[in-house]
Amino acid sequence: LIYYPKEKLALIGEELKDKGKAVPHSWYSLTIRRLVLICQNISSKYTRSKVRKSLPKEFSYILQELLHESGSMTNKNRYVNGIVETIIEIGEAEHFIEALGQVIQRLAVDRLHIVGDLFDRGAGSHLVMSALEQYQNFDIQFGNHDVLWIGAASGNEACMANILRICMRYGNLSVLEDGYGINLLPLAIFAMEVYKDDPCEAFGPRLEEGTTLSEKTRRLIAQMHKAISILQFKLEADIIRRHPEFAMDDRLLLDKIDFAKGICRIHGRNYTLSDTHLPTVDPADPFRLSIEEQELIEQISHSFVSSQKLKKHISLLLEHGSMYLIYNGNLLYHASVPMNDDGSFREVSILGETFSGKALLDRVDKLVRTAFGAGHQVWSGADAGFAEKMSRLTDEQRFALDYVWYLWCGQDSPLFDKDKMTTFERYFLKDKAITTEHKGAYYKFRNDPLAVDRILDAFGVHGSHRHIVNGHTPIHTSKGESPMKAGGKLLVIDGGFSKPYQRETGIAGYTLVYHSRGMQLVEHQPFTSTADAIRKGTDIRSTRHLVEMRSERILIRQTDKGHEIEQRIEDLRRLLFAYRQGLIREGRS
C-alpha cells in the first residue's frame, strides 16, 4: 500500500465491487491512522523543517497536524479524528492515502547512492531516470555503461553502436524507441537487405524468462544485431587508429580475417570462424564504411543527438554524478583505481600528462563533462556545418569525445580495468577460451586490507570506520562468493538488479544500508512483478547481513552534514563577533 498506493487501492476497490460492496468507511479510517503512525515514526529523525518540505502541498497543513498529534491529549485527539473523518466524508481518502505513501517513501531513505551502471542491459533505464527526476536526494558514481550513454548523447558514434548492439542482444528495444525516440527503422531496412539470406543464428536476442516474440521479430532483431556489430567494429577502429596511445591495436580484428580459409589470425595463432558471411567487410579495406553504412550511421547519430529526453537524462546524470564520492567516511566509486602488479597506483597518460590514483579519477571526471559540452557545441545550432564546428573544438574537446568510448572498454580505464573487451571473439570465433577477459591488478589487491587502506589514504578518507564501496563486477553469490572484501573494508554491491545478470549471480542485487547503528548489506531475491507484489501483498524477499554495528549511535554531529553545520555555526559566531566589535556594519539597502 505504501509503495503502490494507487494500484493497491484500485485492486481493493475492484475486489469489493465484484462482491457488490464498497470500501468501508472503517477501513479508510484504520488505514489512514496506521499510515500516520508509520509516518510519525519514520519522520522522527528529521527536523520539522525538512519534514515540511517533503509534504505534498495540497495536504501539507493537514499532514503537519496529524504528524504532530499527541495521543495523551484527549481534546487534540478528537480534533485529529475529526480531520480523518472529514477527509473520508468528502471522498478524498484515497488521494490522502496516496500522499501519505509518497511521504513515507521520501523519508524512508534520506539519501540514495547509485554506484554506477544505472544504464546497462535492463529494459527500464529511461524509467529509472524519470523516477530520479522526482527524487529528492541522490548521487551517482559513473559506471562504464553510464559513460557509454554519455558518449552517445555527446555524438560518439562508436558509443551509439555499442548501445544499439547491447539492446539488440537482450531484445531491449523499448528503451531506445519508447524511452528516447531513437528511430530504428533505418537499421532494420539496412539489416533486412544485407542479411536477407543469413540466418544470423549467433545473434538471436537473449530474452527475459516469460518474454515471447514471433519468429519474424526474433529474426529481424538478429539481423539488426549482426549489422550493428560489424558497424561497431569499424567505428571503433577509427578511434583506435586515431589514438595509438590507447594501445588497442589488438582490437583491430576485421583485417586479421582470411575469408578463403575461414580463419582469424590473432597473436600468431589461427582461430576458426563460426561465421564468415560478412558482406559489408571489404577484404582489401575491411574497416571502410560502405556508402550505405555511412548513410545509416548519419541517421542513427541524428536520432541520438536530437533526442531531447536523452539529453535531459544525461544532463541529470552529470548534475548528480561523479567519478567518485567521499561520504561519511566511505569512498564510493564504480570499478577500480588502476594498480600495478606490485600494488602501486598505475600511471596513465592523458594528452601527454600522467595521472594516477585520485588525480586520475579527477582528470577523467573533467574529460567526461568536457565531452558532453563539446558534443552539444558541435550538434546544436545551425551557424556552421559539422566539419567547421569540429574544427573549432580544442584538442582536449576532440580527445574527450573519443575518450568517453575508451572509458567504456579501455585497459587503463578506471571504469573497466580489464585487458580487453572480447566482443568480436564471442560472436565470431569457435574457440571460446580466447574470450576470457583478464581483470587488472586492482581486483587482486581489493582483498588486501593494507592495499585498501592505501587507497583510502590517497583519497583523504580518514577514521576508524572507513570503507570502499564498489559496483561493476557481479558477485556470484550462488557460487559462494562474498561481497565483503579485505575483512569488510571493501564492499562490492553489484549482485545483478538487471534480470539478465540474475542467472549469473543467483540473486537480484544488493543494497547497502547506512544508519545510525552502522551498516547492513541487504541481499535481494528476484522480484517477480509489480502485479504480483500488489495482488499478493508480498515485498521483495531480502536477507540482511551485518557489516558493521557500533555500540553507540552515530549522531548528526559525526557525519559530513554535521561537520558542515558546525562550520556554518562557527562562521556565524565569527560574523557576530565582528559585528559586535564594530569590524563590520549592518548592511542597508
CA angle 475, 460, 550 (to 5 degrees): 60
Q: Is the pTM above the cut of 0.95?
A: no
Q: Nine-digit cell at 122?
A: 535492463
| Cα separation, 248 vs 420, whole angstroms | 8
349 forms bridges with which residues in the sheet?
Answer: 354
Q: Spell out the long-range contacts of 428-431 with Cβ–Cβ below 8 A and sequence spacing 24 or more.
A: 428/202, 428/264, 428/273, 428/274, 428/275, 429/264, 429/271, 429/272, 429/273, 429/274, 430/271, 430/272, 430/273, 430/274, 431/271, 431/272
Handedness of CA 470, 475, 481, 483 (dihedral sign): positive
CB-CB contact of 264 with 271 (8 Å): yes
Q: What is the pLDDT of residue 155?
A: 94
C-alpha to C-alpha distances, 251 to 217, 269, 425, nearest whole angstrom = 31, 15, 10
CA distances (Å), origin 202, targets 219, 261, 420, 454, 568:
11, 20, 21, 45, 61
Neighbours of 213 (CB within 10 A): 14
Which residue type is seen at 129? M
- For residues 47 and 67, the answer to whether their CB atoms sit within 8 Å is no
DSSP track, 171-186: T--HIIIIIH----HH
In DSSP terms, which residues pair with 510 in a beta bridge?
523
Strand segments, DSSP code E, in 22-134 are 112-114
pLDDT tens sequence for the chain (589 residues): 898 999 999 998 988 888 888 889 999 999 999 999 999 999 888 888 888 888 888 888 888 888 877 655 566 678 878 888 898 998 899 999 999 999 998 898 989 999 999 888 777 899 999 999 988 889 999 999 999 999 999 999 999 999 999 999 998 899 999 999 999 999 999 999 999 999 999 999 988 766 778 889 999 999 999 999 999 999 999 999 999 999 999 999 999 999 999 999 999 999 999 999 999 999 999 999 999 999 999 999 999 999 999 999 999 999 999 999 999 999 999 999 999 999 999 999 999 999 999 999 999 999 999 999 999 888 877 677 777 888 889 999 999 999 999 999 999 999 999 999 999 999 999 998 999 999 999 999 999 999 999 999 999 999 888 999 998 877 777 777 888 899 989 999 876 676 666 666 767 788 889 988 888 888 887 777 788 888 887 777 777 877 888 878 888 888 888 899 999 999 999 999 999 988 888 775 4
* pLDDT confidence of residue 470: 93
Beta strands in 106-160 (DSSP E): 112-114, 138-141
pLDDT at 167: 94
Distance CA 396, CA 444 (A): 33
334: Cα within 13 Å, side-chain hemisphere: 27
pLDDT of residue 75: 64
pLDDT at 178: 93
Residue 238, exposed/middle/buried by CB under 10 A (0-12, 13-18, 19+)?
A: middle
With cell 582536449, the residue in question is 396
How far is 231 from 294, CA to CA, in rounded Å? Answer: 9
Site of grid cell 559530513: 560
d(CA 507, CA 369): 34
pLDDT score recorded for residue 479: 77
- Is residue 155 within 8 Å of 301, Cβ to Cβ? yes
Q: Cα 374 to chain center, whole Å?
A: 23
Residue that the C-alpha cell 526474433 belongs to: 218
Q: Bridge-partner residues for 141, per DSSP?
A: 322
C-alpha–C-alpha distance, residues 526 and 517, integer Å:
28
Closest CA to 411 of 267, 241, 247: 247
Yes or no: say if 414 and 361 are a contact pair by the CB < 8 Å rule: yes
Tell me if 296 sits within 8 A of 288, measured CB to CB. no
Question: Who contacts 7 (Cβ-Cβ below 8 Å, separation ≥6)?
Answer: 530, 534
Q: What pLDDT sits at residue 389?
A: 80
Q: C-alpha cell of 293?
A: 553504412
Length of the chain: 589
Set of cell numbers at residue 180: 528516447
What distance in Å separates the CA atoms of residue 20 and residue 22, rounded to the nearest whole number?
7
Helix (H/G/I), strand (E/B), else coil: 207: coil
Q: CA of 69: how far to CAs of 40, 59, 63, 64, in Å?
A: 9, 16, 10, 9
Give, in order, the Cα–Cα distances in Å from 259 to each of 171, 252, 368: 30, 16, 39
**Which amino acid is it at 12?**
I
Give me the half-sphere count of Cα atoms (radius 13 Å) on the Cβ side of residue 41.
6
Name the nearest CA neighbour of 381 among 305, 463, 283.
305
